[in-house]
Amino acid sequence: MTIHETLDAIYAELPAIECRGQCHDSCTNIDMTGVERRRIVQVAGVTIPRRTVHDPVMPCPALTMFKRCSVYEIRPLICRLWGLTRVMRCSYGCVPEGGYLPEPVALEYIARVHEAAGEHDRAAEIRAGLADGSLAAWEARQRAAANWREFNEVRDQRRAEAAS
Nearest C-alpha neighbor of 4 from the set 47, 43, 31: 43
What's the whole-model pTM score? 0.80
Q: How far apart are CA 136 and CA 138, in angstroms?
A: 5
Q: Which long-range contacts (CB under 8 A, 24 or more apart) does 123-130 make?
A: 130/104
Identity of the highest mean pLDDT range in 67-71, 148-152, 155-159: 67-71
Q: Does the pLDDT value for residue 42 go beyond 80?
A: yes
Range with the poorest average pLDDT among 3-7, 83-87, 108-112: 83-87
Question: Could you give the CA distance from residue 117 to residue 36 in angstroms, rounded to a whole number?
Answer: 8
Reported as half-sphere exposure (CB side, CA atoms, 13 A), residue 84 has a value of 21
pLDDT above 70 as % of the chain: 86
Q: Dihedrals φ, ψ of 59, to 5°?
A: -60, 145
Determine the angle formed by the axes of helices 3-12 and 103-116, rounding to 10 degrees.
Answer: 170
Instruction: Quote the crossing angle between the two packed helices 120-132 and 103-116, to the nearest 10°.
Output: 160
Long-range CB contacts for residues 150-159, cutoff 8 Å, separation at least 24: 150/89, 153/91
Q: What's the whole-number average pLDDT of the chain?
A: 86
